[in-house]
Amino acid sequence: MEKEDSFEMIFRRFPEEYRHCIDILTDEEKEKLEEVRVKAEGYLVFAGGFGEKASDIKVSQRGLTLIVEKLLDHSVYAHMEELCSGYITVEGGHRIGICGRVVMDNGSIKHIKEFSSINIRKGREVIGCSRSIQRFLLDEKDDFLNTLVISPPKCGKTTLLRDIVRTLSEKGKRVSVVDERSELCAVYKGVPQYDVGRRTDVLDGCKKSKGMSLMIRSMSPELICTDEIGSEEDVAVIKEAVSSGVGVLTSIHGMSLEELRTSKIGQLIEEKVFERYLFLSAAPKIGTVTEVLDKYGRRIDA
């Protein structure tokens, strides 16, 4: 099933009085639709490549609660652990961010209730978006070169990582993905909603530092992929992976190597753990690779 179809199916699960809200969009607008925002006692708002468009249907607080319950198959408590992270992943790889009254327990979020707003974001994958840079990721022996993807937010890091994983997996590499925020693979009921390749194993919702160690011990990967590193624990487990002969593919928010040298991952750069650095930009389109550097910081492609 195509992602666009599965996204429209979300609205079929709405309570009857809100089910046809998407009908205000033209077919072209539906294609460009990126997210839907719903607030208690407010109107449904559609946003995407066409701008914003508001429905004339007002959603009561009770109506919003019913929408959330419908989307969660009337099993809010079964999804509570995921909800406490602020969002859930549904079939098709779409994500629903949820706000409401938070109940705390010993400094941790225990429960979210009295829902106040939701943001339904369309899941997207861009098959083939890594094609132009694949030749830089393997050496002459066909071994993977440890790679760090660097860019500001919302430039397509996760989308690029996903396609690299898919391609390498289809080429025969054993890949393990530690998907701490359920963004890389969008696992739903045990099944990745994105194509990440036949030889890819996924550990969903697990902290990166713990998950990478687990994958090294249990799945014998040739490379491990995770998203958005930055902590001292991440640095330690990346060193563990590399010393175990396992390749590492990951990403980080940033603008330059000089900036990252002074961050918590600076020692990885100084020790030349990464053999490739890919810099991304949102221009002229999201996911544009503007620069490829080797482990010495030398430019090898534009």
Residue 4 reports pLDDT greater than 70: no
Average pLDDT over residues 140-167: 95
- Could you report the per-residue pLDDT of 11-39, keeping only the tens digit for each? 988 999 999 999 999 999 999 999 999 99
Residue 2 reports pLDDT greater than 70: no
Average pLDDT over residues 84-108: 86
d(CA 111, CA 105): 9
Average pLDDT over residues 259-264: 95
The residue with greater pLDDT, 59 or 110, is 59
- Could you report the per-residue pLDDT of 190-206, keeping only the tens digit for each? 999 999 999 999 999 89
Band (pLDDT 50/70/90 cuts) for residue 301 is low
Q: Judge contact between 215 and 201, C-beta under 8 A.
A: yes
Return the pLDDT at 3. 43
Fold of 131-301: Rossmann fold (3.40.50)
Which tokens go with 71? 């989307």
d(CA 28, CA 123): 18
When mean pLDDT is compared over 72-81, 110-119, 120-129, 216-225, the highest value belongs to: 216-225
| CATH node for 3-121 | 3.30.450
**Averaged confidence pLDDT in the chain:** 91
Closest to 113 (Cα-Cα) out of 89, 88, 90, 84: 84
Q: Judge contact between 215 and 225, C-beta under 8 A.
A: no
Q: Where are the domains of the chain?
A: 3-121, 131-301
d(CA 95, CA 92): 9
Residue 121 reports pLDDT greater than 80: yes
Three-state DSSP class for residue 102: strand
> Would you call 14 exposed, middle or buried from its count of C-beta atoms within 10 A (0-12, 13-18, 19+)?
buried
Average pLDDT over residues 2-15: 76
